[in-house]
Structure 1
């Protein structure tokens, strides 16, 4: 396979996963703020959205203050923001078009239809209160496209590269969400409403990763730092956990036709090492300094993505 096509498939999967997580996080944070503890005011919510979506600096280059409609529009549908959901959907379509001969017509039509639906929002604008409807459409269409990926593609390098991109990005997004929620939590560590806020922040974290229901079934306890970290980082049976995603990344890399030795510095070795680190790490090992563990893990995932890009997917 040409590296150009492989690059398009890989990034199509990444941008699809990224747009879904950003849409869900924005929706959950903004909507849940209505019922949150008083200390979790709208300004904190808007700051959290901008930090998680990497839009903080860009937003304040065009705006003087935090304002709900402005933040939601900039995050969701701004054509001038390369980190907006709309921009990521545009890239999903562009990458799918770059690999048009490798994917099914059903998948292409679903992506193309999704692209035109979402772009219709850009002309009309988006009020903050409409983020619930807008984000739900992003999430639903993302699952439609994933259904076509699973049910219309051969299990060859095409499918493996898309899945590799999706699960690599999923691990990244879950870690970014956890990092952001720890920042949110730090603001309230000494506040009078801390006890109520602690439960709220971990509940909203689970909702942002679409994990609350399965968490309650598996952990059978109110959300807290210990149990949420254990579930979202280390539960190998849950498809939204980092451990599950990194194991899938390893499996995809093992299945793709990379011609190389399996030793240090090569993609098979580094992917396996990263997945195994999670296999033999427990939540008790990281509880004293979870933020440092999240930072180190994210750096390792980015390094793996860079290695993959530099060796196999980069083209002139």
Structure 2
């Protein structure tokens, strides 16, 4: 397969997952703040949305202060933000177009329809109060597209490369959500918002942001807390949104793609296997007290793996 096509397939998967997670996180954080425990201030929520999407610096380069509509606009579809949800949707279509001859017509039509519907909606005007509708549409179309990926593609390198992008990006987004919320919780003392009810509220919004609430309750049968939520989202190998499940899937995809390399130290197979094993054998007790540092290190390792994939096999001139 040409590197150009492989690159398009890999990033198609990554952008699908990225757009979905950012849209859902913004929706959950913004709408849940209406019913939040006393002391949950709106600026706190807006900062969290910007931090999770990696948009804080870019936002303040064009806006002087936090504002509901401005933050939602910038995160969702601003022309001034190359990392908005709309920008990712445009890139989903662009990468699908670049690999048009490799994917099914059903998948292409679903992506093309998604692109036109979202662009038509945002062109008509958008305010912060409409975030619920916008994000739901992004999430629903993401499910439809991933359904066509699963049900209309041969289980060959095309499917493997898209899946590799999806699972690698899912691990990134789950870690990013946890990192953001840990930073949010660190602010509670300085803003006098600390307390059991409010802290439980934040861990519950993490579960909602990752579509994990129901399965978490079936696994733990107790209200969300720091240890259990982190254990579930990081190390539960049976839950498809966990980092452990995602990195095991990344390893499987890499093993089945013909990268034509050995498995020595420093190879893609070696790095993917090492990462997957880390989440297979580590426990929450080992990382709980140093969670921010652990998450930072693991995110760096995932980015390193993605960089190696890009420079060695997917980069093209």
The TM tier, using the shorter chain, reads over 0.9
CA-CA distance at 1:60 after TM superposition: 1.0
Give the corresponding residue for 1:311. 312
Shift of 1:193: 4.5
Cα deviation, residue 112, structure 1: 0.2
Q: Structure 2 CA distance, aligned partners of 1:272 and 1:6? A: 21
**Cα drift, residue 194 of structure 1:** 1.7
Q: 1:43 aligns to what?
A: 43
Superimposed CA distance per residue, residues 212-253 of structure 1 (whole angstroms, 9 cap, x where no aligned partner)? 111001111110000000000000000000000000000000
How many pairs align?
316
Per the alignment, residue 268 of structure 2 pairs with 267
Correspondence 1:284 to 2:285? yes
2: distance between equivalents of 1:81 and 1:124? 19
Equivalences for residues 68-79 of structure 1 within 5 A: 68-79=68-79
Q: Deviations over 1:114-161 (max 9, x none)?
A: 000111133222111110111000000000000000000000000000
So what's the TM-score if we normalise by structure 1? 0.99
Between the aligned partners of 1:288 and 1:265, the Cα distance in structure 2 is 29
* Distance in 2, Cα, partners of 1:261 & 1:278: 23
Kindly report which structure 2 residues correspond to 1:200-215, keeping only aligned pairs within 5 A, or say none.
200-215=201-216
Deviations 1:70-109 (A, max 9, x none): 1101111112210100000000000000000000000000
Report the alpha carbon displacement of residue 192 of structure 1 after superposing the two structures with TM: 5.5
Asked if the contact 1:19–1:138 (Cα under 8 Å) also holds between the matched residues in 2, the reply is yes
| Contact 1:77-1:125 at 8 Å conserved across structures | no
Give the aligned partner of residue 221 of structure 2.
220
The CA distance in 2 between the partners of 1:82 and 1:27, in whole Å, is 20
Map 1:131-170 onto structure 2 (within 5 A): 131-170=131-170
Matched-pair contact (CA < 8 Å) for 2:40–2:193: no
Matches of 1:176 and 1:125, distance apart in 2:
29
- Which region of structure 1 is more displaced relative to structure 2, 15-24 or 121-130? 121-130
Taking structure 2 as the reference length, what is the TM-score of the superposition? 0.98
1:29-68 superposed matches below 5 A:
29-68=29-68
* 1:27 and 1:132 in contact (8 A); partners too: yes
Q: Distance in 2 between matches of 1:233 and 1:205?
A: 13
Gap runs ≥5 in structure 2? none
- Cα offset for 1:58? 1.1
Greater mean alpha carbon deviation, residues 245-254 or residues 77-86: 77-86
Could you tell me which residue of structure 2 aligns to residue 87 of structure 1? 87
Q: Distance in 1 between matches of 2:36 and 2:221?
A: 22
